[in-house]
Chain A
């Protein structure tokens, strides 16, 4: 039974899966940033970036990640073109 579950959920032992999930959940709980605030942050970032370059708005992702002793904001943005003269 456990073997079947393991096959469904990929290989990692479930203890480590739990640990990684909890790292993520607790970090979000602690910083208390609502999904709406994350969305607002994302939109503001797009606004600022758009002054310098044309970005693919639908592609922008913003995530917080917990390192061993730091927290990182990680964002992936697809750039269409960079303006020659920033406005």
Chain B
């Protein structure tokens, strides 16, 4: 059976697409799935540094598409997980040097070999975005609880629906529970009712994310991290498990519940 092709997109830049790809992909690889991550942000590649694989790059996505190498040559194996690999973006080329048709073909070839193909989409809604979503059957839209990110997410959801991407779900990143409580941040419910797509999960705002990208080690490797736990439950939901959405809520009861359930 062909694997799932998941595009992670947002419209707005800097909301956490690359972090999401790294963490969802790593979690599913830890569950023994064969996973490949593709960075489609040609000209502004970043997934390699977030994954800590920047000094192993020889070939890239554009080389595969232009036939300069076999796809296996451009896939970089993860340092910890042998069933996880990444295809880096080209750094010195432009987004329109590949076409939607070429991306579709590459994605379906990869889906024949891998259980999960994750596509890290560039910011914006131009050619790079169109290429990134061309081959995907599932979309994860990342937003933060800010007006600009939400507006862009809504635009992107409209474009995904128009492009017939069937399954769309939402990640709310960097939610600050204290600010929500104080009334100074839109709540999860507010955002869901605005965007009206199913919620995949909520990632609490956390300094751990910065630390993990500094080191180039995805957060989900750290068992004690709250944000990491949020990504783990989102990956499980993407994999079809049913995990209650308040599973990573704050407070002693939430924590006790988690202890008992895990």
Contact = CB atoms under 8 A, between A and B. Distances in A.
Interface of A: 2, 13-16, 18-19, 21-23, 25-26, 29-30
Given A26-B154, A30-B158, A19 B190 contact: yes
Interface string B152-180: 00110010000000000000000000011
Given A14-B184, A15-B186, A25 B151 contact: yes
Contacts of B184: 2, 13-15
A22 B147 contact: yes
B187 A15 contact: yes
A23 B195 CA distance: 9
B180 A15 contact: yes
A16 B183 CA distance: 7
Contacts of B186: 15, 18-19, 22
B185 interface: yes
A22 B149 CA distance: 11
Contacts of B223: none
Interface of B: 147, 150-151, 154-155, 158, 179-180, 182-187, 190, 194-195
A21 B154 contact: no
Nearest to B179: A15
Given A26-B195, A30-B154, 9 more contacts: A13-B184, A14-B185, A15-B190, A19-B190, A22-B147, A22-B194, A25-B151, A26-B154, A29-B154
A29 B98 CA distance: 30
Contacts of B147: 18, 21-22, 25
24 contacts: A2-B184, A13-B182, A13-B183, A14-B185, A15-B180, A15-B183, A15-B185, A15-B187, A15-B190, A18-B185, A18-B186, A18-B190, A19-B194, A22-B147, A22-B150, A22-B151, A22-B194, A25-B151, A26-B194, A29-B151, A29-B155, A29-B158, A30-B154, A30-B158
Contacts of B194: 19, 22-23, 26
Task: Say whether chain A's binding surface is mostly helix, strand, loop, or mixed.
Answer: helix
- Give the 5 A-B residue pairs with the shortest CB-CB distance, closest first: A13-B183, A19-B190, A14-B184, A26-B154, A15-B183
A23 B197 CA distance: 15
Contacts of A25: 147, 151
B150 A14 contact: no
A56 to B, nearest CB: 35
B151 A26 contact: yes
A21 B151 CA distance: 10
Among the interface residues A13, A16, A22, A25, which one has the most CB atoms of the partner chain B within 10 A?
Answer: A22
A3 B179 CA distance: 14
Contacts of A23: 194
A25 B154 CA distance: 10
Contacts of A13: 182-184
Nearest to B190: A19
Contacts of A29: 151, 154-155, 158
A71 to B, nearest CB: 13
B74 to A, nearest CB: 38
A23 B180 CA distance: 18
A67 B179 CA distance: 26
A19 to B, nearest CB: 5
